[in-house]
C-alpha cells in the first residue's frame, strides 16, 4: 500500500462561510439541501446566473473561475470538501461573476437563500461567526494581492503548494497541473515549470504527470518565505 496521502486541495487559507456556522445550523441546511452528483468537467454554476443561494461541496474538487471567449477555462480558486462558495453574490443580490466546474467526480449541495435566511433567523449568534469569516476572506484577498506585488515566482508557487498540501506531515499527492497552478497565480506555464524544477532540485517535491508529490512540506514552506 502506498504511503502517499492523496490531498483534497484548496487554494485559499481563509475559512469558508458554512464551516463557521454552528453545528445545529449546518445540520439544518444539509437536511434541506440534497447533494447532487457531478461528473469531471461538468459545469456546476455559470456566470450571469441569479444568486438565490450558495453551494457546498460534499465530496470531490471544484474549480472556480471564468470561461474565456476561446472556450478555455481560467481558474482562480480550487475548493474541496466542506468548502462553500457563492455567498457574497447572494448577500449582495448580484448575479454570479464566476463559473464553477467539477475538477473530479463530486457531490455538491445547493443551499437556497430562503432556507438560509429562515435558519439564520432562528440562530442569531451565527451572525458574528459570519462576519468573522467574511473579514478573513477579505484579508486573504488583500494578502494575495500583496504577495503578487512583492513575491517572486518561486516563493508564490511554493506558497500555493504549501496551502494546497494542508497540514499533513506525510508525503502528499496534490492533483493539480502546471497549467492550473499558472492560472491560479497569474503566471505562465513556463514560469511555473521553472519554479517547480527549483523545488524538485532541493528534494522538496517530485513532479508527476497531472500531479505533484510534496516530499518535504517544511522545505516547501521555507521556500515560500523567500
Residue 3: which pLDDT band, with cuts at 50, 70 and 90?
A: very low
Q: What is the pLDDT of residue 15?
A: 66
Quick one: average pLDDT of 184-199? 90
pLDDT at 4: 33
Total-model pTM? 0.69
Distances (CA, A) of 12 to 136, 138, 142, 143: 11, 11, 12, 11
Q: How far apart are the first and last CA of the chain?
A: 36
Residue 83, pLDDT > 70, answer yes
Lowest mean pLDDT among 40-49, 50-59, 139-148: 139-148
Q: Model confidence at 48, in pLDDT bands (50, 70, 90)?
A: very high
Q: What percent of the chain has pLDDT over 90?
A: 38
Write down the H helix ranges in 166-211: 178-185, 189-201
Least confident of 5-9, 12-16, 127-131, 145-149: 5-9
Residue among 10, 121, 113, 132 nearest 55 (CA): 113
Min mean pLDDT across 39-48, 67-76, 113-122 is at 67-76
Residue with cell 532541493: 202
Domains and CATH numbers, the chain: 9-137 (2.60.120.10), 151-224 (1.10.10.10)
Amino acid at each position: 500500500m502506498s504511503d502517499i496521502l492523496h490531498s483534497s486541495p484548496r487554494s485559499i487559507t481563509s475559512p469558508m462561510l458554512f464551516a463557521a456556522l454552528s453545528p445545529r445550523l449546518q445540520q439544518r441546511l444539509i437536511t434541506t439541501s440534497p447533494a447532487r452528483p457531478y461528473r469531471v468537467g461538468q459545469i456546476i454554476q455559470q456566470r450571469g446566473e441569479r444568486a438565490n443561494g450558495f453551494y457546498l461541496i460534499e465530496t470531490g474538487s471544484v474549480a472556480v473561475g471564468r470561461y474565456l471567449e476561446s472556450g478555455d477555462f481560467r481558474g482562480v480558486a480550487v475548493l474541496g470538501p466542506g468548502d462553500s462558495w457563492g455567498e457574497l453574490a447572494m448577500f449582495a443580490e448580484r448575479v454570479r461573476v464566476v463559473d464553477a466546474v467539477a475538477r473530479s467526480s463530486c457531490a455538491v449541495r445547493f443551499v437556497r437563500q430562503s432556507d438560509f435566511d429562515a435558519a439564520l433567523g432562528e440562530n442569531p449568534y451565527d451572525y458574528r461567526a459570519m462576519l468573522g469569516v467574511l473579514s478573513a476572506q477579505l484579508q486573504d484577498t488583500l494578502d494575495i494581492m500583496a504577495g503578487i506585488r512583492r513575491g517572486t515566482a518561486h516563493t508564490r508557487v511554493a506558497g500555493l503548494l504549501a496551502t494546497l498540501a494542508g497540514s499533513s506531515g506525510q508525503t502528499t499527492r496534490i492533483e493539480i497541473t502546471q497549467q492550473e497552478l499558472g492560472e491560479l497565480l497569474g503566471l505562465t506555464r513556463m514560469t511555473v515549470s521553472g519554479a517547480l524544477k527549483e523545488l524538485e532540485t532541493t528534494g522538496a517535491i517530485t513532479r508527476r504527470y497531472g500531479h505533484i508529490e510534496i516530499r518535504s512540506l517544511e522545505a516547501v514552506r521555507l521556500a515560500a518565505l523567500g
